[in-house]
């Protein structure tokens, strides 16, 4: 499991004084960086080097999050297929689970425009962070 801490910014807050729902997608993406590094260690976004494409995201908002208290983002693997895998995400604030979500990514060759099997060495790294839901 990977954990990062984010501090809600003033601009992340909406008119109801809670963290806006659009912010969670950005925080969860930031939580995926260690997983991105498994495929592209230097996070080089060049067309030739980047190897992942996002094909699905979903979010469940369980409780409101507020400005003034850090949020812990937890990321882990929930499923590994031949060329795709699913990442589970959780947002915790003040010891409470506030939101959760999933992202499905595909190992992808942008030059050939097709999916590729996940290499065995990367699969082994993903398996180290596999959590059954």
* pLDDT interval class at 15 (50, 70, 90): confident
- The distance from CA 57 to its chain's CA centroid, rounded to whole angstroms, is 9
- Distance between CA atoms of residues 121 and 119, nearest Å: 6
Please say whether the beta carbons of 71 and 5 come within 8 A.
yes
Give the residue extent of every domain in the chain.
2-127
pTM of the model: 0.92
Look up the CATH architecture of domain 2-127.
Answer: Roll (3.10)
pLDDT tens per residue across span 65-124? 999 999 999 999 999 999 999 999 999 999 999 999 999 999 999 999 999 999 999 999
Dig out the tokens for 101 from the structure. 């979500």
């Amino acid at each position: 499991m990977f954990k990062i801490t984010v501090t809600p910014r003033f601009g992340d807050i909406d008119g109801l004084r809670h963290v806006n729902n659009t912010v969670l997608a950005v925080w969860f993406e930031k939580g995926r960086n260690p997983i991105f590094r498994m495929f592209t260690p230097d996070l080089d976004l060049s067309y030739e080097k980047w190897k992942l494409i996002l094909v699905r995201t979903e979010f469940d908002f369980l409780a409101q999050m507020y400005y003034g208290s850090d949020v812990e983002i937890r990321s882990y693997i929930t499923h590994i297929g031949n060329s795709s895998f699913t990442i589970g995400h959780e947002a915790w604030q003040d010891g409470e689970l506030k939101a959760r979500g999933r992202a499905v990514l595909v190992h992808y060759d942008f030059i050939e425009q097709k999916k590729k099997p996940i290499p065995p060495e990367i699969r082994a790294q993903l398996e180290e962070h596999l959590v059954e839901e």
